[in-house]
């Protein structure tokens, strides 16, 4: 971009140095061409700045979407290394078989929340009391399976 600005500035200097006047037909055309070139350079600079801003914005949205995907699609089994005490419910969608995870605190939320399969939009759960789910703590489940092995 700086190359374009330098070239147009150089041309402007040449036109001014040559003493081209607006009184000749050729002079009018050259001066108009120089004005158009200046506008083109200004427009390209503005577009380039807007493009950089847009690219930064899209990258931040991409980061946010990646975090949401991790939250929605990788719940319990990918959180084994996490130190937080959050519990998650894992279900297989009866329509398409996709494994769906959602936070267990949805069960006690006062808002009515629908949990839908991200693949086929099948409603897996609504916390309005019409569904019966049992929350299983993964640590307790592992302890029980170890006791069964004894």
55, 99: one domain: no
Last residue of a domain, one of 31, 47, 73: 73
- Range 35-41 contact pairs with CB under 8 angstroms and sequence separation of 24 or more: 37/8, 37/11, 38/8, 38/12, 41/4, 41/5, 41/8
Six token digits for residue 99: 């494994």
Six token digits for residue 56: 């930064």
- Measured distance CA(5)–CA(61) in Å, rounded: 33
- When divided into structural domains, the chain yields a total of 2
61, 11: one domain: yes
User: Could you report the per-residue pLDDT of 118-145, keeping only the tens digit for each?
Assistant: 889 898 888 876 665 555 555 555 555 5
Q: Which residues of the chain carry a pLDDT beneath 50?
A: 76-83
pLDDT for residue 81 = 47
98, 125: one domain: yes
pLDDT for residue 16 = 84
Write the DSSP assignment of 66-125 as a string of letters: HHHHHHHHSHHHH-TT------EEEEE-TTT--EEEEEGGGGG-SS--EEE-TTT--EEE
**pTM score above 0.75:** no
Q: Is 89 exposed, middle or buried (0-12, 13-18, 19+ CB in 10 A)?
A: buried
8, 65: one domain: yes
pLDDT for residue 86 = 67
pLDDT for residue 43 = 94
pLDDT for residue 50 = 96
In a domain, 80, yes or no: no
118 and 98 Cβ atoms separated by less than 8 Å: yes
């Amino acid at each position: 971009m700086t190359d374009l600005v330098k070239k147009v500035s150089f041309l402007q200097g040449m036109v001014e140095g040559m003493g081209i006047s607006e009184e000749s037909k050729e002079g009018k055309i050259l001066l108009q061409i120089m004005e158009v070139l200046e506008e083109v350079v200004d427009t390209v600079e503005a577009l380039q700045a807007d493009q950089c801003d847009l690219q930064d914005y899209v990258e931040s949205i991409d980061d946010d979407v990646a975090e949401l995907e991790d939250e929605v699609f990788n719940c319990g089994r990918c959180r084994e290394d996490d130190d937080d005490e959050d519990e998650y419910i894992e279900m297989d969608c009866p329509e398409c078989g996709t494994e769906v995870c959602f936070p267990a605190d949805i069960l006690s939320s006062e808002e009515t929340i629908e949990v839908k399969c991200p693949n086929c939009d099948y409603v897996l759960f609504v916390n309005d009391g019409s569904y019966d789910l049992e929350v299983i703590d993964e640590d307790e489940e592992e302890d029980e399976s170890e006791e069964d092995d004894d």
